[in-house]
Structure 1
């Protein structure tokens, strides 16, 4: 390497160590390994490609030296990997039989090749370091919410700018009926952060129940502080969500805290989710009470639970049956997912008719 380049090279290495947090010794070792390969490719004779070679780079000056490593033997059978004791002691009197002698074989114009190889290693290490830094930054945000900007759509995927990288919003993670407009800001849930050969890959979602949970944490200080807990969420993205909440403080109404003054808190979340309906219900450790709340906005007359089968028979007024079941069964379906109970709903007249049939048997 030329003197100017050597100085620039050492400065670049030291700067890389400071800025990217890479181990200096590891970086030099990687460079030295690359220089061994460069030497064998460009300078070793065809019959000598298998020779043992060590490259040493001076950590202060950038001076590069190549050494052929040969075992000291009494009789030489292969001069590529062996050296006689007599010849070894001409290099240094310290050598004895079975020692490994180092013979400098630095080619005269090795500096040019060394500079190119070192440059490639440094560039590669910078890329790897940047990928690691980005991965380390985003892995802490896994299962959290992030704001991104819509870049483009391609083959059903939406590409989102997250600042330091692009994320892909796949078709299954997109809310039904939601359009994605260039430069539009979106709140997204980070489902997974993965390492790949091309760098970190971020899987984001607009449909995950975790998005609703994080939005409530952002909007409701009582949830963020832990006074109000989100016990369960059931979601059909773009259509409806049920969220069960509980207060650890008797003086704090969990549902009121989530709705907010004049409904502003829940309305902000509804706006972010493009008018997705949100039912906020009060969680209860009593399954009968919890199931009745979960079927809101329908009013329930009675709940009969079977603990063993984790199933419940619910009776509602005749005029409440369609509301309890919901359009295409959505309300009861979400209530079942929210509570973890199988729910069978009947109207009051259906229940009475069934009861009369059973008593006549």
Structure 2
């Protein structure tokens, strides 16, 4: 008698991609509520749904007790055993009480409750979809903006891109397509909230993972990333196989791979350097494109003093200290840079150090 109702539920499950059990649980709760409301019943009831033949039945449930205190909820043992001698105390007696017109009433009453459950289930599906995309890149379309956020259409949901996580000098118009990095997914009372970024270091890492097959396959590993979005970044890379050049893999033939990433980041400069477990070599590489004479390591303070040629001091420090700052973030070491003449005055240069060839330490060219 309720075939249309069940068919609607099945179609809804298929259309929304929602588990049928979730919908039928919602329908069950709605029908129990509808029965009690429309028939002014205080009795506990159970609804039995049979989608295969469209049957819908309602059963009253009375608990068997020695002495009845509430006839809406209980039945005496003696009376229950008059129905079936096998009944005992604490058993439940069920009796079908399905009203003749219950199908129509139930469908009307269930609509609002089921709609709410469907909305919740849809939100759950969306939340799970986007939780799986955390720390990943998505392509979206700019929908609108306000003083706090750019709102990015990501298919099933609108992502929030904080204004302070838009790269400097980037401007967007409605309907512009952009790549964003998913930083946070929250399940709130208003539904799932997805936050994205254009400045997060993870965006740079994921772009290289997409662009460089050796990284995707695990042959080359990105060890660290430091980034000042829109201006300059550094990444360190490593390959276990000595036959593999990790820097060359990231740069690509004629610089094509790194240039693709640079273009996506609107010209952001990217230094790609070799990772090393030796802090002397690693920090020397990280300060690329400057050359390094020596690196003095203080393990206790996790700090280093780097000595560079006099004519390389400005290059090593970088504009507004950027090169040194990025190198420190990349390596995790404190870095104090001194020119060769300063080091001599401070007695930091030994005769061996002073005579060392600049090329004794490994350096990587700026990309």
TM-score bin (small chain): 0.7 to 0.9
Contact 2:152 2:160 in 1 (8 A): yes
Residues 1-361 of structure 1 mapped to structure 2, 5 A cutoff = 3=1, 6-16=2-12, 20=17, 22-24=19-21, 27-44=23-40, 49=42, 51-72=43-64, 77-83=69-75, 92-93=83-84, 96=87, 98=89, 99-355=91-347
Contact 1:95 1:101 in 2 (8 A): no
Using the TM superposition, name which of 226-235 and 242-251 deviates more: 242-251
Over 3 Å counting, the alpha-carbon distance change for 1:120 and 1:95 in structure 2 is farther
Contact 1:85 1:95 in 2 (8 A): no
Unaligned stretches of 5+ in structure 2? 349-367
Measure, in 2, the Cα distance between the counterparts of 1:11 and 1:135.
27
2:364 maps to which residue?
A: none
RMSD of aligned residue pairs (Cα, Å): 2.6
Contact 2:26 2:117 in 1 (8 A): no
The secondary structure found in structure 2 opposite 1:60 is: coil
Measure, in 2, the Cα distance between the counterparts of 1:253 and 1:55.
68
Using the TM superposition, name which of 14-23 and 209-218 deviates more: 14-23
Contact 1:35 1:118 in 2 (8 A): yes
Measure, in 1, the Cα distance between the counterparts of 2:327 and 2:116.
53
Measure, in 2, the Cα distance between the counterparts of 1:254 and 1:79.
80
What is the Cα deviation at residue 72 of structure 1? 4.8
1:359 maps to which residue?
A: none
What is the Cα deviation at residue 319 of structure 1? 1.8
Measure, in 1, the Cα distance between the counterparts of 2:283 and 2:80.
88
Over 3 Å counting, the alpha-carbon distance change for 1:112 and 1:275 in structure 2 is same
Measure, in 2, the Cα distance between the counterparts of 1:317 and 1:245.
26
What is the Cα deviation at residue 338 of structure 1? 0.6
What is the Cα deviation at residue 199 of structure 1? 3.2
Contact 2:316 2:324 in 1 (8 A): yes
Contact 1:177 1:238 in 2 (8 A): yes
The secondary structure found in structure 2 opposite 1:114 is: helix
Measure, in 2, the Cα distance between the counterparts of 1:158 and 1:14.
38
TM-score, length basis structure 2: 0.84
TM-score, length basis structure 1: 0.86
What is the Cα deviation at residue 262 of structure 1? 2.2
Q: Count matched residues.
A: 346
The secondary structure found in structure 2 opposite 1:281 is: strand
Over 3 Å counting, the alpha-carbon distance change for 1:53 and 1:317 in structure 2 is same
Using the TM superposition, name which of 71-80 and 216-225 deviates more: 71-80
Contact 1:74 1:97 in 2 (8 A): no
Measure, in 1, the Cα distance between the counterparts of 2:298 and 2:67.
90
Measure, in 2, the Cα distance between the counterparts of 1:302 and 1:41.
84
The secondary structure found in structure 1 opposite 2:336 is: strand
Measure, in 2, the Cα distance between the counterparts of 1:76 and 1:288.
86
What is the Cα deviation at residue 339 of structure 1? 0.7
Measure, in 1, the Cα distance between the counterparts of 2:199 and 2:289.
23
What is the Cα deviation at residue 183 of structure 1? 1.5
